[in-house]
Structures are given as structure tokens and as C-alpha cells.
Chains A and B, each alone.
Chain A
């Protein structure tokens, strides 16, 4: 009896390790993807992590010994804290601006009964799909010294000097809010659509004005979406490279542009790798936090 259960157990374990023939066939289908990802993603990321543990010994070269000095230098120098600080402030500003624009827009899209709704949604999604450099390029005739905004500004006599809206933080904020607003809107629409409109109708029939109803009924119920959208937009802001590079005109140094400078211009691979790992750690932590929150709220 005992020997038999043991044999059954053995077979179970055997199956677990070697899989049944049918399952094994399914498992083969996963081999190509794992092989390719190993070469193009997993090994390069491990190599990047190792690079960050070697000392910098000159342009494009590094010592062979393993050390944590790059990370200690990162944590002990005020410059890197400032870099993280500026990048985070940029993230917070972009999140705040996106919320200001996205809340009314998402509310409108979630509640509208217009037959143009699909077209409106297309208007939100379409800019996301056009290359980000092309969109950045499009801001130049609008925000430049002789652009549309300054034409209005000077002709309406709002000021004597043209506004500087490019090659600085303002330009980067405008570019990023534009690029990331659709992510915020799509997150918010799905949450607002789940709020029963009867709640708002009840509030209005009890004499609360539409704005008060929005602030006291819709906003609190949309909180999970606001948090999820904000985390997403913050994460995408600190990960973004192209928009800070183009709209900042090389004058705005955030974590991503700093990494590019270290790797491409200064050929300091260990330092580039170290800051990359710090950025990666931040992004992964934020993504995990977002997933956790999503699970508890749902």
C-alpha cells in the first residue's frame, strides 16, 4: 500500500518536472520567445547590472574588479539627489497639468451621448500613435520665437517681449503633458464610466450645482483612476527621453538626458549603467505600487 502511494507520488513528481506529452508540446512553443528574450533583453540587462559594479577607468573602459563605489558615489553626491529631485518635480508638474486637462475631458467623454463619441475617442488616441519626434517638431512653429503663441501674445499686447517656451523646462512640460495626456484620459474614462450616473442625478435633484456634484460625487469615486493615471504618467515622465531632449533643446538635464550624455558623449559606461539601474529601480517600484493599488481598489 505504502509502496503504491509512493509510486503514485513519484509519478506525480515526475510529471511535474517533465510535463505530460501534451503539455510538453505546449512548452516547446515557449522556447523561441524565451531564447530571443534571453539574447535581446535578459542577458543585456544582467550585463548592464554588472557594468554598474565596475569602476570607471577612462573613456569607454572599465576596471575588472567588482565594487559598489558607483552606487556609493551616486548616493553621497548632492548632484545626483538634485538630478532625481528635478526629475521628480518635472513628474509632479506633468501629472498635475495632465489631471487639470484630463478630468473635464474624461468626464465629458464618459457621459456624452453624442454620435461623434467614437470620433472624439479617435482624436484622443490618434496623437499617441504619431511618432513623438514628429509631434515635438509640430510644437516648434507654435511655441517658437516667431510662432503662433508669441504672435498672439505680442499682437494682443500682453507683453513687449516674446515668451521663451522652447529649450527650457516649460517646453518640456508642454511636450510631456501633450504626449501623456491620452494615457491619463483613457485611464480616467474607464473609471468614470463605472460610476452610476444616477448618483449625479440624485445630487443635482437635491439642489447641488453641477460643479459641486462633480467635486463631491465624481471626484471621490474616481479616486482609484486618478491614482492609477497619476502613477502611470509620473512613471512615463521620468522614463521619457525624446521629449526632454527635443523640447529642452539640450539645456534641460533630467535623469534620462543625463544617462544619454554619460553613455554617448562621455563614454562613461559604468556611471551610465549605474544611473540606468537607479532609474529602472524607481520605475519598477512605481509599477509594482500601481499594480498593488489596482488589486486592492478593485
Chain B
């Protein structure tokens, strides 16, 4: 009995360990006393009204880059995922491997490669991509694409072909079958891939650190700078809002599409 009790305590402790930093951000964001002193002395919401414009600017950059990199991934990744499964093309295994390859590469290495490649592009075409939202979006698409491709491939494996055959037997043309039957059934897979892609882009530090320079700062880089140089409770307030939004988004998607469907492809 004692051992069983110890097991329960240990598992509970592990759960607490997992959620501790998120709760800690939220609690610290409403604490009025000196920063990072336990126990918190007073409740206040003043940090929420004092979020500096530069933090909101960084949030805007992050949202733009995340939306852009996700859009690129969906636009090129969904057709690719379909072709890789249904095309029965020669060498499709190799082609899948090429599409998923960036997942193997540490994002720091992708960042170094992207930074040095922007120098090449500048030398050859006089096109400056460094310190631009567009350049950062392109660099992020290197690892948002594989998430969408993988989700679409996985989604088709679970797909039931009977509905498509039925539609075809009833006289629908292939294009119509695709638009009215296949795409709606693939919806959850595409959505889960897109969410994973967006969150990965939104989470990235190394690539944004290299490519953003001083001009284009994403929220994670802004938080990193804040931790290193000018820690203020306002960053805790914004972080709480962001973390809360992410968790609500995930809970909603889990509710609508089922936890397994949304997260089946998130874990790498």
C-alpha cells in the first residue's frame, strides 16, 4: 500500500512539473510585488494595461510570419501529399523522403543555412531577404511544409475510399469527386497539419534570431531579449495571453475534431 501511495505521489508530482512553468507565467503576470519573488505579494492587473507597443509589434510579426509560412505549406503541401499517395509515381518513396527531410535538420542549422543563403541571393540578384518578414516567412516554410505533407499523407491512409467510389458510380466527374468528397474528408488532416505548422513557426527562435536581425523581431525573440536584457512583468502578461490563446485553440480543435485526429500528427 505504501508503494502504491508513493507511485501516486510521484505521478502527481510529474504532472505538476509539466504544468508548472505555464501556471507560473500566469501567476507571475498578476503579481504586484517585486518581479520573480515568491510568495507573490499582491494581486494586480496593471501589467496587462502596460504591454509596450514593441511587444505587440513583435506579436504582429510572429502572426504574419506564422500565417504566411502556414499558407505556403498548405498551398504546396496539400497537392504534394495527395500526389505522393495517389499518383503511384515511380520514386514516390524518395520524393516523400525529400519532402519530410527538413524535419530531421535542427532548426538552428536551417537558420545558419538560410542566413548564409540570403547573402548568396544578395550577391547574385541584389535582393535583400535578411531582416524582412518575407525572407523569414520563406525560411520558416522549410519546416512548415513537411508538417502539412506528413499530415495529408497520414490523413489519406485513414481515408475510406468507398465514398469516392460511390460518388464516381453515381456519375460525378473526378474533379467534382475531389472537391465535394475527398477534400472535405481530408479537412481534419489538413487542419491538424496547418495548426502544427503554425505553432512550430510561432515557436521558432533560432531562425528568427539569424534572419530577423534588429529590424524584424518575432515574439519569441523579443521574449528572449527581454529575459536577457530588460525583464519586465509586461512580457509575462503578454505571454499569459498568448499561452492561453494557444491552449484554447487546441482545446477547441480537440473538441471539434477529436484529440487523436488533431494530435496524431503533431508529435514528431
A contact residues vs B (CB 8 Å cutoff): 16, 19, 23, 26-27, 29-30, 32-37, 39-45, 47-48, 51, 101, 104-105, 108, 118, 120-142, 144, 146-148, 150-151, 178, 181-183, 186, 209-211, 238-242, 245-246, 249-250, 256, 259-260, 263-264, 269, 272-273, 276, 279-280, 283-284, 287
- Bound form: Cα–Cα A39–B139 in Å: 9
Could you give 12 example pairs across A and B, Cβ below 8 Å?
Answer: A26-B88, A40-B142, A108-B11, A120-B15, A131-B219, A133-B205, A133-B223, A141-B38, A151-B39, A239-B107, A246-B227, A263-B210
**Contact indicator B17/A147 (Cβ below 8 Å):** no
Whether a CB of chain A sits under 8 angstroms from the CB of B126 is: no
Known: A101-B17, A127-B22, A137-B227. A287 touches B76 (CB 8 A): no
Q: How near does chain B come to A184, taking the closest CB pair, in angstroms?
A: 11
Binary contact readout B74-113 vs A (1 if CB under 8 angstroms, 0 otherwise):
0111011011101111100001001101101111111011
Q: How extensive is the interface on chain B, given as a class?
A: 35 or more
Q: Select which of A40, A134, A249, A273 is within 8 A of B243 by beta carbon.
A: A134
Count A/B pairs, Cβ under 8 Å. 266
- Bound form: Cα–Cα A137–B246 in Å: 16
Q: Select which of B7, B20, B98 is within 8 A of A104 by beta carbon.
A: B7
Q: How near does chain B come to A69, taking the closest CB pair, in angstroms?
A: 18
Known: A40-B141, A44-B116, A178-B18. A134 touches B205 (CB 8 A): no
- Bound form: Cα–Cα A241–B108 in Å: 7
Point out which of B3, B7, B219 has the most chain A C-beta atoms below 10 A from its C-beta: B7
- Write out the residue numbers on chain B whose beta carbons fall within 8 Å of the beta carbon of A125: 250, 263, 266-267
Identity of the chain B residue whose Cβ is nearest the Cβ of A239 in the assembled complex: B106
Q: How near does chain B come to A171, taking the closest CB pair, in angstroms?
A: 12
Q: Select which of A127, A139, A186, A272 is within 8 A of B267 by beta carbon.
A: A186
Whether a CB of chain A sits under 8 angstroms from the CB of B24 is: yes
**Contact indicator B116/A51 (Cβ below 8 Å):** yes
Known: A33-B99, A129-B199. A260 touches B206 (CB 8 A): yes
**Contact indicator B98/A34 (Cβ below 8 Å):** yes
Q: How near does chain A come to B85, taking the closest CB pair, in angstroms?
A: 10
Binary contact readout B229-268 vs A (1 if CB under 8 angstroms, 0 otherwise):
0010001100100110011001100100001000100111
Q: How near does chain B come to A13, taking the closest CB pair, in angstroms?
A: 12
- Write out the residue numbers on chain A whose beta carbons fall within 8 Å of the beta carbon of B209: 260, 264
Q: Select which of B18, B34, B80, B206 is within 8 A of A29 by beta carbon.
A: B80
- Bound form: Cα–Cα A280–B80 in Å: 26
Identity of the chain A residue whose Cβ is nearest the Cβ of B143 in the assembled complex: A41
- Bound form: Cα–Cα A188–B14 in Å: 15
Q: How near does chain B come to A74, taking the closest CB pair, in angstroms?
A: 15
**Contact indicator B72/A36 (Cβ below 8 Å):** yes
- Bound form: Cα–Cα A240–B203 in Å: 12
Point out which of B23, B38, B90, B95 has the most chain A C-beta atoms below 10 A from its C-beta: B38
**Contact indicator B142/A41 (Cβ below 8 Å):** yes
- Write out the residue numbers on chain B whose beta carbons fall within 8 Å of the beta carbon of A121: 259
Q: Select which of B17, B87, B206, B247 is within 8 A of A130 by beta carbon.
A: B247
**Contact indicator B250/A48 (Cβ below 8 Å):** no
Q: How near does chain B come to A142, taking the closest CB pair, in angstroms?
A: 5
Whether a CB of chain A sits under 8 angstroms from the CB of B220 is: yes
Identity of the chain A residue whose Cβ is nearest the Cβ of B259 in the assembled complex: A118
**Contact indicator A45/B113 (Cβ below 8 Å):** yes
Q: Select which of A242, A256, A273 is within 8 A of B116 by beta carbon.
A: A273
